[in-house]
Structure 1
């Protein structure tokens, strides 16, 4: 399935280029890839300058293998559900996004997308599942900002990103 390329374009458009904001717990980041993630994939000797020069091929590899594939998005029958899940995983970590999904569908919340979770996802009515994921993601971001005032600076951007997801399309 080539749906990952459609979502990848959306993600890249929103992530932008290099940044290293003091309040961002991810530290140095380019195209949404943190230095920690970049090093875990391409070696601990990679520097901030290497991250600044991340190639499209390197970025696509990370996005596809470490986010799309970890969420088993090719096996999620509904594209809208797959897209909002993977975007959440890219923005907050696979374990976080999958754990929230598992709580919604009633499977063991271990953060690992397995057969039981996939079956539960694929047997749910997709529109209500999409809506539940979207609302849970909104609540998740609001809770982060409420618990840690230093993160409030990001809340508007996080919520704006989620608002671009509508069932059946990006807006």
Structure 2
């Protein structure tokens, strides 16, 4: 839902944290969850490590809105489901998150949330969908080679996001 973006972004930024350059993270230099590459693509030129360290929530909000919230069609998703789809889109990509939602509702998992996926969401038990999404997300994390390094953090995030999403669900 469109009105949930600001709240979802605030919650997301708590998980994404500040500046990080972890040697095992394939994203490399990251601040507020935005990788150096994503920020360079956004601004249209190379940026320095210092530029990355100076990013603010106001700098990254439009990136999250356009590159993740809108691409994952979160404006059209029910409350709570919009948040879990957005959070995983940021964490693992819009296509992967969209496919997770499609698996939950029985749509063909093509990674694009379109009219068929949205129609299949109608009438679904939203709480069940949130719990199923959590399982799909966790199974994906467990399949990654870096689970031993990042798995505890991913699992905590998945649990926390699910808990909040369940509070947001309308039914």
TM-score by length of 1: 0.89
> Contact between 2:8 and 2:83, CA under 8 Å: does it hold in 1?
yes
5+ residue gaps, structure 1: none
Query: Which residue does 1:64 correspond to in 2?
Result: 65
Distance (whole Å) between structure 2 residues aligned to residue 119 and residue 161 of structure 1:
29
The alpha carbon displacement at 1:43 in A equals 1.3
Query: Which residue does 1:116 correspond to in 2?
Result: 116
Query: Which residue does 2:39 correspond to in 1?
Result: 38
Distance (whole Å) between structure 2 residues aligned to residue 143 and residue 121 of structure 1:
27
Root mean square deviation of aligned Cα: 1.6
> Contact between 2:40 and 2:46, CA under 8 Å: does it hold in 1?
yes
1:98-129 deviations in Å (ceiling 9; x for gaps)? 11222222223221121111221233221111
> Contact between 2:141 and 2:147, CA under 8 Å: does it hold in 1?
no
Residue 3 in structure 1 maps to residue 27 in structure 2: no
Residue 152 in structure 1 maps to residue 148 in structure 2: yes
Distance (whole Å) between structure 1 residues aligned to residue 143 and residue 59 of structure 2:
33
5+ residue gaps, structure 2: none
> Contact between 1:23 and 1:151, CA under 8 Å: does it hold in 2?
no
Look up the SS of the partner of 2:122 in the other structure. Answer: helix
> Contact between 1:107 and 1:117, CA under 8 Å: does it hold in 2?
yes
Which structure carries more relative contact order (alpha carbon 8 Å, separation 6+)? 2
Query: Which residue does 1:89 correspond to in 2?
Result: 89
Look up the SS of the partner of 1:79 in the other structure. Answer: coil
Distance (whole Å) between structure 2 residues aligned to residue 68 and residue 106 of structure 1:
22
> Contact between 1:4 and 1:68, CA under 8 Å: does it hold in 2?
yes
Query: Which residue does 2:101 correspond to in 1?
Result: 101
Aligned residues: 165
> Contact between 2:89 and 2:98, CA under 8 Å: does it hold in 1?
yes
> Contact between 2:102 and 2:109, CA under 8 Å: does it hold in 1?
yes
Query: Which residue does 1:18 correspond to in 2?
Result: 19
